[in-house]
Amino acid sequence: MLGMALAAIDGTIVSTAVPQIVGDLGGFAVFSWLFSGYLLAVTVTLPVYGKLSDTFGRKPVLIAGIVLFLVGSLLCALAWNMGALIAFRIVQGLGGGALQGTVQTIAADLYPLKERPRIQAKLSTVWATSAVAGPVVGGLLAGYADWRWIFLINLPVGALALWLVVRHLHEPARPRPKTRPRIDWAGALAVFATGTLLLTALVQGGVAWPWLSAPSLGLFAASAALAALTVVIERRAAEPIIPGWVWRRRTIASVNLALGAMGLLMVAPTVFLPTYAQSVLGLGPIAAGFVLSVMTLSWPVSAALSDRVYNRIGFRLTAIIGMSAALLVLLAFPLLPYPGEPWQPALIMLLLGAALGLFQLPLIVGVQSTVGWAERGTTTASVLFCRQVGQSVGAAVFGAVANGVLAARLLDAPAPGLPDDLDAVARTLEDPGALSAAATDQLRRAVDAAVDHVYIGAAGAAALALLALVVLAPRRFPVIMEPEDRRP
């Protein structure tokens, strides 16, 4: 849990310190890569670490991930300009990929099927706490100390996690392979390069360059060509990084697609709800964060209780019920009155967290229970990889949708100088004298309409997740019963 907390909190703790970092180091034009570079490194390394943990064991991979993360943290604290800080954030992400995937796999290794919901709920609590505490801690350190402490506080936490893992994590003895394990370095490099180009195109498209510009089209074309090359390399490899059985088995393929769709829909609350709360409801940053954070209260509780449901009706049907509820909740968001009260979107988020807790955890526990130790790391990494890619695709697609709706609503605006993208809306509304009352109201209504369209799109992603489960997933997951699971 300490190791996972390192990776979880680092995704949010930097956000509130950006003004201080930019003021000290400069580089305002590229500061978004502080987040994009970290996410990129975490995502593209997940399949690689999953395969390595199946080949050499979880403990060495986890130790290497913690060490690499701490080295990256120390380098970030010593960064002398924005370029160096972005590069060192990528080093952090290379370690964070090992932390995310390996911790989830170890949880399945150490606990039998009946106890996994309890430990997975605790891991969900780590993410929930980090989502709330990260921006607060980052703001306090940046405001009252120095932004470099954001990275330095990782060192004692990581050192404690490293000591506990080295001293107390004892993996069960496994029979030695008859032949020396082969590392598919060509496949690892191909997966890394493909993911890097694809995620760069998704993250920077519409931001650094237009979607239909030469850089955007070139990156998408290059990522497609590399994806085809990756398939060829992996089909010929003796021990591929992403083996073909990940997609040939109906259970794993359906869970990958369903959680990829969940990553897509998660962009609506996590990215666009704070903008809605500040621009439409007129809340401050802290209050807007609270509207979002209520989702992290119901999610772990729902996840912890989900075993009482799936032990009766199965993993698939439980997940279908959870995502069906999420679909209804997402469709309810556009029905909220304008401008409305803060408790209304907060209630929506509370219900959404409960629904998604009932959806995600049964699928993760279920798919991990269908494979043995030697395949569990690869399986878990494939699931997390698809979820991360879904989030990147969602950020790109829904960002384009929101900005398109906003621009269309403001096309015939009576007041000049109105922003045409969501990033500039908050800055405009912070200056009350910049706009007339009528123009301000029109701008708020345009943001309301843009976020409503994003939530409708998120409901479409929920429908895709349901389709993957209904069409592809078997009625009963082929669970491998371990000795601990057979005990009365």
Please say if the pLDDT value at position 97 is more than 60: yes
Q: Which of 291-295, 318-322, 358-362 has the least mean pLDDT?
A: 291-295
Beta-carbon contacts of 213 under 8 Å, excluding residues fewer than 6 positions away, are none
Rg, the chain, Cα only: 22
Please say if the pLDDT value at position 422 is more than 80: no
Q: What is the mean pLDDT of residues 198-216?
A: 77
Q: What is the mean pLDDT of residues 339-366?
A: 89
Please say if the pLDDT value at position 487 is more than 50: no
DSSP 28: G
- More reliable by pLDDT, 319 or 282: 319
In the chain, how many H helices and how many E strands? 21, 0
> Structure pTM?
0.83
- Using one digit for the tens of pLDDT, what is the confidence trace for 145-201? 788 888 888 899 899 999 999 999 887 766 666 666 677 788 888 888 887 888 778
- Using one digit for the tens of pLDDT, what is the confidence trace for 99-154? 888 888 888 888 887 788 778 778 877 876 776 677 667 777 767 778 888 888 88
Q: Which of 203-207, 209-213, 307-311, 431-435 has the least mean pLDDT?
A: 431-435
Beta-carbon contacts of 47 under 8 Å, excluding residues fewer than 6 positions away, are 191, 241, 242, 378, 381, 382, 385
Distance CA 86, CA 33 (A): 6
Please say if the pLDDT value at position 324 is more than 70: yes
Q: What is the mean pLDDT of residues 334-356?
A: 89
Query: What confidence tier does 207 reach under pLDDT thresholds 50, 70, 90?
Result: low
Query: What confidence tier does 221 reach under pLDDT thresholds 50, 70, 90?
Result: very high
pLDDT recorded at residue 483: 57
Is-contact 77 148, C-beta < 8 A? yes
Give the position of tokens 């030695």: 176
Q: What number of other Cβ atoms are within 10 A of residue 311's Cβ? A: 14
Query: Judging by beta carbons within 10 Å of its beta carbon (0-12, 13-18, 19+), is residue 228 exposed, middle or buried?
Result: exposed
Q: Which of 30-39, 107-116, 317-326, 454-463 has the least mean pLDDT?
A: 30-39
Distance CA 253, CA 243 (A): 12
Beta-carbon contacts of 133 under 8 Å, excluding residues fewer than 6 positions away, are 9
Query: What confidence tier does 296 reach under pLDDT thresholds 50, 70, 90?
Result: confident
- More reliable by pLDDT, 10 or 194: 194
Give me the phi and psi of 205, to 5 degrees please: -60, 135
Q: What is the mean pLDDT of residues 482-486?
A: 55
Please say if the pLDDT value at position 370 is more than 80: yes
Q: Which of 24-33, 89-98, 147-156, 454-463 has the least mean pLDDT?
A: 24-33
Q: What is the mean pLDDT of the chain?
A: 82
Please say if the pLDDT value at position 35 is more than 80: no
pLDDT recorded at residue 316: 92
pLDDT recorded at residue 488: 39
Distance CA 480, CA 488 (A): 17
pLDDT recorded at residue 260: 92
CA-CA distances (angstroms) from residue 38 to 42, 65, 93, 113, 272?
Answer: 6, 14, 5, 33, 20
pLDDT recorded at residue 391: 83
Nearest to 90 by CA among 45, 136, 25, 154: 45
Query: What confidence tier does 29 reach under pLDDT thresholds 50, 70, 90?
Result: low
Instruction: Give me the DSSP letters along 148-203.
Output: THHHHTHHHHHHHHHHHHHHH--PPP-PPPSS-----HHHHHHHHHHHHHHHHHHH
Partners of 209 in the beta sheet?
A: 205
Beta-carbon contacts of 379 under 8 Å, excluding residues fewer than 6 positions away, are 50, 246, 252, 367, 368, 370, 371
Beta-carbon contacts of 120 under 8 Å, excluding residues fewer than 6 positions away, are 107, 303, 361, 364, 365
Partners of 205 in the beta sheet?
A: 209
Q: Tell me the two tokens of residue 412.
A: 């015939």
pLDDT recorded at residue 417: 61
Distance CA 267, CA 255 (A): 19
- Using one digit for the tens of pLDDT, what is the confidence trace for 423-458? 666 566 666 566 677 777 778 888 888 889 999 999
